[in-house]
Structure 1
Amino acid sequence: MRNTIRYGALVAAGALALAACSSAPEDEPDSTATGTETETEAPVEDVDYMACMVSDAGGFDDASFNESAYEGLTRAEEELGIQIAEAESTAESDYGPNLEAQVAAGCDLIITVGFLLGDATAEAAAANPDVNFAIVDFGYEEPIENVKPLFFETDEAAFLAGYAAAGTSSTGTISTFGGINIPTVSIFMDGFLAGANYYNEETGGDVTVLGWDGTDGSFTGDFDNQTNGQNTAQGFLDQGADIVMPVAGPVGLGAAQAVQSAGDAWLIGVDSDWTQSAPDYADVVLTSVLKNIGNSVFDTIEASITEFSNEPYVGTLENEGVGIADFPEGIVPEDVAGALDGLREGIISGEIEPSTAG
């Protein structure tokens, strides 16, 4: 029931049942060496199939969910032998025209990236019933026959990050903020708060979380203005926070600038491992709340080549659709890091609620 309730918060009451959800894909194994000779992979045969993608306004180089999704698309091109095409949006007004262009290009599957493309995707799917679609981070109260939702229970992973942040902070104040107050953003913030609260309950701590109170919090109002992110993060740092988790796409890069300039604070990335996707700030990344969007995109494309299904994919800790990245060595106290495995199992079993909603 816990997962069903949280999933329903994203798609409205009576939405798709989680019992039908797909399992998270496993990474493909690397080629292996036998003796002194390295096996050579056979060339990938071309497949008569085109998968396409439309970004939201953050673009494909956002060091966040658009970029992760695009990596899944290009991996499909390389490993499955398909054709791909993409359309990068710079504003909400681009969504409809970009979708129309992809339909006109003859795409077999069009993947849209982000909650903000929900309406445009539904309209395109209704107008083109013979074209299949998938959408990252959005679902519909009434399932659409030719649209597959890709969801992630990111509060589960953010709970672990919040617990670790609370146990690592030297000031006793940590913080988070979002780009726009939509469920796919606030779910990170809520899990982060729940994890910090749990740390306080279990250890007798008194760590304060700035930026989200379980109902409302700090949002910049956009996903692209890095100055807004820098100013918001600086406001938290000025209040004594020494750990900041921005959930705001490229806006988070502005927060990273503020954290790095402070010299005594840490950043928690989201969606991808920021030590890899934002290497200029790797020295201040405590961890990242991972949403394995690339794998879900690849898996959806691979399955759809044979048969399309609109059953939703939901990434969880249990199926490794979400998780957290490694900590820098020696920064997170051993007892705090050591507690995370037990917390993970508690979340999977349902013994621990990873949100403040209960």
Structure 2
Amino acid sequence: MLKKFISLAVVLTVVLLAAFVALPAAAETNVGIVLSTGGLGDLSFNDAAYRGLQKAKSELGIDFDYIEPADPSEDQTALRRFASRGYDLVIGVGFQMADSLQTVASEYPDVKFAHVDQSFEDVPDNIVTLNFAEWEGSFLAGALAALTTETNNIGFVGGVDYSLIHRFEGGFYQGAKYINPDITIQSKYADSFGDPARGREIALGMIDDGADVIYHAAGGSGSGVFQAAQEEDIYAIGVDSNQNFVAPGHVIASMLKKVDNAVYDTVKSVVDGNYEGGQNLLYTLADGGVDLTSLTEVGLPVVQAEKNGTITADELATIKQMKKDVTAPYAEKIEDIKAKIISGDIEVENWGVTGRPEDL
């Protein structure tokens, strides 16, 4: 009887030890992110920030959670939820969250924060801001629009009439005028980052007035621009992420704002123990923080879209043909302009600082 008891105890001990060993190791770093208006599925900078965290989870072993506020008035509550629970890093996305993040960060000085899209004066030691030279990347988008238009009439659709979006508009305007000083540039704001119907309505109006290439910096509202481009058989230029697969054959390029890389790098700094708060970081054309998608190759995201069923093989072929016919002829020209911006031979004005011209 005693032998049976000892044997049973040994078996139980082995089983418990095996179960303990099989348990996954607890994540060393916990990150919370509060997304901007429009949330996931915007195919733009919210999705880009989320991709950065997915990469960090896969490669660095972190754990993360996210909140999609329905309205900016909920931002503080969302940020405070993560900070009060001791998350190692709390990230806020979008200029509309700037004040809320600074308020919550002041309440939790021992928690590390990152903010995407707004630099601060006198940045506290527990905040780092991630900013991008959108005016440089948008200059390339404007130049491409001016090179590909057949009507010498192009358009810009912004999300909200604010200094951050003026940076996109200003770069686009200057790039187009660099190619053709006499080009017509229509510009209008949707007053929302999550209203595709409004984006479509604005784009259709621009098309009626002669525009045949439209660039958007409107978040989720930009999907309406793509819809209008597809309906009316004109071209569009995407923003923030590679959106070339959204309306196959109609989105000729996308201005990349590599929020995913910036978020990943910030998380890695926390994991590695070298996070440095108290600074405003700026990502530019020179360091690859902003760019234009390839004018000759379709790019990995588009190929993946075909593999996961987002687009068909025929649509992928359409994109490849469009690249060959429409954008590839201007690849060298755009690369030359890019090099001149990086070298300083072309100076691009930042309308977010200088202001949007009143005569537009």
Range of TM-score over shorter length: 0.7 to 0.9
Amino acid across the alignment from 2:261? N
Contact 1:46–1:82 (Cα < 8 Å) also in 2: no
Which is greater in Rg?
2
CA distance in 2, matches of 1:46, 1:245: 44
Task: Find the partner of 1:302 among 252, 257, 268.
Answer: 268
Give the aligned partner of residue 67 of structure 1: 47
CA distance in 2, matches of 1:189, 1:51: 33
Alignment of 1:195-344 (within 5 A): 195-201=175-181, 206-211=182-187, 218-263=188-233, 265-275=234-244, 279-305=245-271, 306-310=273-277, 311-327=279-295, 328-332=323-327, 334=329, 336-344=330-338
Task: Find the partner of 1:349 among 338, 343, 347.
Answer: 343
- Tell me the matched-pair count: 300
CA RMSD, Structure 1 to Structure 2 (Å): 1.7
Give the aligned partner of residue 135 of structure 1: 115
TM-score, scaled relative to structure 2: 0.80
Amino acid across the alignment from 1:296? A
CA distance in 1, matches of 2:26, 2:184: 55
Contact 2:167–2:350 (Cα < 8 Å) also in 1: no
Per-residue CA distance 1:280-302 (angstroms, 9 max, x = gap): 41321010000010000000000
CA distance in 2, matches of 1:317, 1:250: 24
Per-residue CA distance 1:19-58 (angstroms, 9 max, x = gap): xxxxxxxxxxxxxxxxxxxxxxxxx976411111000121
CA distance in 1, matches of 2:293, 2:199: 22
* Higher RCO (C-alpha under 8 Å, 6+ residues apart): 1
Contact 1:47–1:80 (Cα < 8 Å) also in 2: no
Q: Quick one: structure 1 residues 45 and 167, their matched pair in 2 at CA, closer, same or farther if it must change by over 3 Å?
A: farther
Which range moved further: 189-198 or 301-310?
A: 301-310
Q: Residue 288 of structure 1: SS of its match in structure 2?
A: strand
**Structure in which a larger fraction of residues adopt helix:** 2
Q: Residue 28 of structure 2: SS of its match in structure 1?
A: coil
Structure 2 spans left out of the alignment, 5+ residues: 1-23, 296-322, 355-360
TM-score, scaled relative to structure 1: 0.80
Alignment of 1:91-240 (within 5 A): 91-201=71-181, 206-211=182-187, 218-240=188-210
Amino acid across the alignment from 1:331? V
Structure 1 spans left out of the alignment, 5+ residues: 1-43, 212-217
Show structure 1 runs of 4+ deviating over 4 A.
Answer: 44-47
What is the Cα deviation at residue 255 of structure 1? 1.1
CA distance in 2, matches of 1:329, 1:106: 51
Q: Residue 224 of structure 1: SS of its match in structure 2?
A: coil
